[in-house]
Structure 1
Amino acid sequence: MTTKFFDRLSNDLTQLLEDPIDYNVSIEVGKAPNNQIFKTHSYILQSRSPYFKKKFNETPFNDNHVKLLKLPNISVKIFNVIIKYIYGGIISLEKLENSFIFDLLIYSEELELDELVKHLQPFLVNNNSSWLRLNFARIYQTSYQIKNLEIIQDFCNGIIAKHPNTIFESEKFLSLPEDTLISIIKRDDLQLEEGKIWEYVVQWGKAKNPTLPANLDGWTSDNFLTLKKTLKKCFPHIRYFNFSNEDVLEKLFPYQQILEPKLWLDINTKIMAPNKPISSKALPPRKILTKTLPTRNTLSPLSSHIITDEHALEISSWIDKKEIPYTENNPYKFELLVKGSRDGFDIKTIYNICDKISNTVIVLKVEGTGEILGGYNPLEWEKTSQWKTTQDIFPFPLKTAKTSQWKTTQDCFAFSLKTANLKNSILSRVKIFNYAMYYDQEIFQFGHTLVLKDNIKADKSCFCMRNSDYTYKKPIRSDEFLSKAYFLPNITFSVEEYEVFKVSQ
């Protein structure tokens, strides 16, 4: 029987890092004045990292029998996590920002920490996919520059397959590495007609050979041979037998010289005699979705001083109840209706301006904390609500001297949006549909999870309730900011700014 005492071993090695007895490597990390010296041991580092093993072979000892290394491009904070992993084999990601984890992944790959690279990629994809989508441009560009990020690359290619214009119509397309292009065009779920894929591939091949004549009529046999050699590895992934007849004539025929004669014959055979057997390999057709994917709304840019385009994409995904958030294609237009600093902060103002308007999103920035709270209301606002006593439908009494009414819907939700202080956005959908929205001339509520009251800037009377699970699925603020009862002054907050948008397609 073999017993493994890994916990004690990890702890002892971590202590050795904190008290570096007999260290023989000094690593200067970061750039002055924020640099820091780490005293380490060559045997541990080179046994854990091929990168350090190479560096140590190239670096002589100084007079004090210490090797001096410099890592100016890595932050001290990131290297501190890495070096503790190298010594103790332990890493905790729960309290780290997503951007920090992604940078940690990049530098782990640079230092050839394969185990950590393999751990961080699925962690990001499985736990922080929303952040990856909202930062798609940066993530994708980095992933194809670093070859060992296969899981991240596959995640990005899945997005491109559904929204191919994000890469094929971008300025970066012509500079894609060959293996990256192939990883895209080989996908069965790439949402493009085969003729269009062919056009993009040929365009990419021409860009790799800028000396080719612009006019195809002036091409020589050598010109076609040059393009053929460039696209050699792309050819096996084109579904030639799924071209429309028009595309064969208009898109393939001009480039028939770069195709193998037997393949060109088989393509024409399938057009003229579909049932006749062919010898060329015929790939299955791509799995094109029947539902039209949303397109980017470029007519009206987002007019907000609270939320970003990425926030709007996330809210739109929640409206459509998408498990995979939109990335760069927002199917909705956000039309600004009300703004606190422009129109006033009284709840009555919102009712007056938004009367009879449905499908609205309200966002508000909390004074002092920088939180962005809000919610989506699919129902029409009502400036004059029908009288309804609330004591019969509410578990604790409200003021009954005002007209008020609970509204029923299953499509509304409240939220907290990701900011510098909140790692991930929080979505809370309605749980008890009959208590979804509460209308009152001086109060507006998303169930119990978000209550806006009176003058939301001057009166400091807004609050979120701890028992929000009575009407909504989860609270949208941390416990320290939640009220246990309907009104507790020490938990209430005021609003620095708010905006209400009409959401339409």
Structure 2
Amino acid sequence: MKIEFSTRDVLIRNVGNYDVKIYVGQGECSKMFWAHTVILRTRCEYFKIALSNTWATQEDGLTVFVKPNIHPTICDDPWLLFASDQFYRVEEEILIAILQREDLNLPEVYIWNNVIKWATAQLDVELDTDVSKWNLEGFILLKGKMNRCLPYIRLNNIDMEEYYRNVRPFKNIFSKEMQERIEEYYFTGRKLDIFYNPRLPFIIDSCLIKYEHAALISHWINRGEGKVATREKNPFNFRLLIRGSDHGFCGEVYDRIRFEYPALLVLILTETDEMIGGYQRINSNYWRMFGYDYDRESFLFRINRGNVKRSVISRVVHPTHAVYNQSGWGPCFGEGDLWLKRHFRDPTECVCKKASYEARIAHDESFIVREYEIFEVTPA
């Protein structure tokens, strides 16, 4: 059965048409989802069986499906599933259904490595952790467990270095023909029909940050409360307004738009490769042409792009001096805590010190901007 897009959209938007209740988790740590039988059965082989009378029950004309062994947080962030020490217990049909998703925003090599671990854990024999010591029988056993998963791992999302280190040692689980075609792809870059559709990318128009950085910033904006930002979805939309390399490195560009958007995110890449920035949320009715604006929600930050957990936030401590306005200047936070004046390539015009915020976020009090981006931030 094929569902036309228009029919599918009507089903999804009309709560009255839901005919499936899915419960995950147990007790206080549980969650219920509404769904449509026709969509689940059409999009996923697993649910053709799962929603049968053998596995599911009927309640007031609705199909009820219960999975107490699935933690509800996994429904928000699939990373938790792959990282769990219980991942090896996931049923094969569920794993395949997850791998089929086009919006599974995880590094493909991470998916590959964990599926290998999952398949190895399903074997009745224990294989050496050093794959170079395996004999042919070991690869045959692994292939038997991997066969149904392999088509849904997007090898074309794994770069050549990652392929060499992580995939090639297991090349014997592929047929000779498949090995040759995979190597043809990596050596020539030619698109081949052996790969499943590529996954949907995380949508944020930035050359400075990726999904994990946007998730962290969203976490800071929400003060750790509310919806959890994941690699699939984010409680905030980030719409690019200005990029230095496209619009210029002078304050006049920002000055023309600053009164139009109450919530702005500023990202700055300095000449010393530091990623710093700030967030402000000013009620447009109180914007001043000159001087300081009050804002309790503003914060500054420094993002460690190598290890996001080592990133630093600096919240405003003097909200009456959270944001500074000056005609012709760029974004300015605090009393010099993070100021971009008229010329962003002039170190005397770009200042970072501790005054109105908890801590200084840049290592130097003056800097040169290599690139910057400014986003409008709105609830998703």
After TM superposition, the score normalised by the length of structure 2 is 0.49
Which of the two has greater strand per residue? 2
Task: Give the number of the structure whose alpha-carbon radius of gyration is greater.
Answer: 1
After TM superposition, the score normalised by the length of structure 1 is 0.37
Larger RCO (CA within 8 A; separation ≥ 6): 2
Which of the two has greater helix per residue? 1
